[in-house]
Structure 1
């Protein structure tokens, strides 16, 4: 299936807890794409969109807490991007509430690709910041 995307280390932020969430979100999108492509049950589509929305909120909250505890300077900008994604998933839920066929595979892929671009462009910006903090914390613990 051409729309399925596999985990790649380039999506990693070097924080195992966050990387696991990323993998899980990608798997959720893959499942939703597969269901839509194979013309699966409408209730399954609705359930997966809801799951993606709810899981995204939890995941983004974890990421923001980690960044907030370390004082990441661009947290506000980063959080706004997360909120835009959540708004888009809520929009998908509204569309399918009216009629599940309103949601196309292209819509799902577009949202998934937004998330991948976010991983590659925005999330990579905080990796050096977190690594420096991890190094400082490790040095402090050695004292």
Structure 2
């Protein structure tokens, strides 16, 4: 398998749970791109896309909860970024399902790749210092509470 994005320590946001989520999202993105390269067909690709969207939703909720617990002052702005990203990804998926061309496949994979890299390496780094300053066991326990 060709890894389009590989996890590296500079992607760490200072919390093991959120880093684990990011690793799962990276794997899902790589699976999606591999399915396109392997010409798996629109329904297989859409299944992977749906899984990526579902896990992204789960992760964004967990990340926002972590930021709220940590008292991150940029939470509201970050929530707006999340909402915009989800809206864009849903639109890209809709367009892909309506007309799954090779050009659109490239556009979709490029968009998802740049979105994930930008979100982790730029947007999420804003809360990294705060996350690193907290007791991780206590934070993870609170994040994991229902």
Of residues 17-26 and 87-96 in structure 1, the stretch that sits farther from structure 2 once superposed is: 87-96
**Which structure has the larger Rg?**
1
In the superposition, the TM-score normalised over structure 1's length comes to 0.85
- SS of equivalent to 2:134: helix
Q: How many residues align?
A: 137
Is there any run of 5+ residues in structure 2 with no aligned partner, and where?
140-146
State the partner residue of 1:118. Answer: 119
- Structure 1 runs of 4+ aligned residues shifted over 6 Å read none
Q: Deviations over 1:2-48 (max 9, x none)?
A: 77111111111121111111011011111111111121121111111
The yes-or-no answer on 1:62 pairing with 2:62 is yes
Structure 1, unaligned runs of 5 or more? 139-143
C-alpha distance in structure 2 between counterparts of 1:103 and 1:12, whole Å: 31
Structure 2 counterparts to residues 1-143 of structure 1, below 5 A: 4-101=4-101, 103-134=104-135
More contact order relative to length (CA 8 Å, sep ≥ 6): 2
TM-score (norm 2): 0.84
